[in-house]
Amino acid sequence: MSFYRNAVWFVKGLQEYTKSGYEAAAKHFSAADLEVNLSGRSFMVTGANSGIGKTTAQEIANRGGTVHMVCRNKDRAEAARNEIVELSKNQNVHVHIVDMSSARQVWEFAQSFSQNNTIHVLINNAGCMVNQRELTDEGLEKNFATNTLGTYILTTALIPALKKAEGPRVVTVSSGGMLTQKLNVDDLQSEKGTFDGTMAYAQNKRQQVILTERWAAQHKEIHFSSMHPGWADTPAVQSSMPSFHAKMQGKLRTQAMGADTVLWLAVSPAAAKQPSGLFFQDRKAVATHLPLASSRSSPQEEEKLLAVLEEFAQKFKP
C-alpha cells in the first residue's frame, strides 16, 4: 500500500506541487486578498531566518505587522532580521532564540512570551528532516521532537494568549508528503525497523494535520489551518533531500511561491471565512488523503496521539 501511495503522490506532485502547478493555480488568485494593512497585529513565525519562514516574515513586515522571529541560530536570525527591517522599513521585528527540538526551551519561551506580549497569529513553520536517527538531550528522536512535540507545546502553550486577541489564527506548515503516511501511534519516535528520515518527516507532517483538525474542534475562537507549500527550492530541501533537489531543479517553486498560501492563511480576510481545521494547497482546501490509500486513522488512534503528546509536554514543563 505504501508503494501505491508513493507512486500516486509523486504523479500528483509533478502535476500540482511544482512551479508550473503553482502558476496554473495562481491564475485564479485574487491579488486583493493580500492587500491588507497589518499594523497593530502581532505574528510569530518559527524557523524565520531562511526559506519559507523568512519570506513570510518579510511579507508580514512589508504590510506593517509586528513580527516575532523564533529561530535557533542567533547570528543567522540577526542577519535575517536586519535584512527584513531594511527592506520593509519596519522596526517592529524581534528575534527570539529557541531550539524547537527542546521541549523545555519551548515551554519556557512560550510562558515568558505570553506574559509580556500580544499574539494574533502563530505560524508553525520550523521543521527538520534528519536522515540519521538522532536523539535530543531530552532523549527524544529529533524529527519528532522538532516537528511534532515542539509544535504541540508551542501551540497549546500560546492558546490562552491567542484567545485574548482579536481574530486569532494558527497556521501550520505541513507537507504534501504526509499523504504517503497513515498515522502510526505505536512508533512515534521511529524506533522500529530501519530508520528513514523522509518517512519520519512525512509521519510528523501527518501528525500536524491531525493536530490542526483536533485543535479546531476544541478551540472554536481560533482559526486553525495546515497547508502544503508545494515543492519549493529552499535551503532545507537542498540540505535534507539533495538527490531530489538535483533531480527536480528547474521544476521547483520559488520560496515566494511556497510562502504564498502561508501568508494568505495568516492575513487574508478570505482565509478567515474558510472553516477552521482544513488543509490547504495554493489557497484552496484540499483532501487530506489520496484516493483508495487506506491512510485514515481511527478516532482512538488520534486520541492516543494527543494523550502521548500531552504526557510528554507535562513531563518537560518547567
Catalytic residue positions? Answer: 201
Cite the DSSP H helix spans in 63-196: 74-88, 103-116, 142-143, 151-163
- Show the CA angle centred on residue 255, arms to residues 251 and 5, nearest 5°: 55
Please say whether the beta carbons of 252 and 233 come within 8 A.
yes
Strands, sheet with 42-46, edge to edge from the N-terminal-most edge strand: 93-97, 66-71, 42-46, 121-124, 169-173, 223-228, 278-281, 284-285
Tell me phi and psi for residue 96, to 5 degrees: -130, 125
Q: What is the DSSP string of 159-208?
A: HHHHHTSSS-EEEEE--GGGGG----GGGTT--SSS--HHHHHHHHHHHH
Burial of 307 per CB tally in 10 Å (0-12, 13-18, 19+): exposed
Among 191, 183, 186, CA closest to 134: 191
Q: What is the DSSP string of 242-273?
A: HHHHHHHTTTSBPHHHHHHHHHHHHH-HHHHT
Among 81, 68, 48, CA closest to 234: 48
What single DSSP character describes residue 147? Answer: I
Cell numbers of 269, please? 480576510
Pairwise CA distance, residues 147 & 258, whole Å? 18
Amino acid at 296: R
Cell numbers of 16, please? 500540482
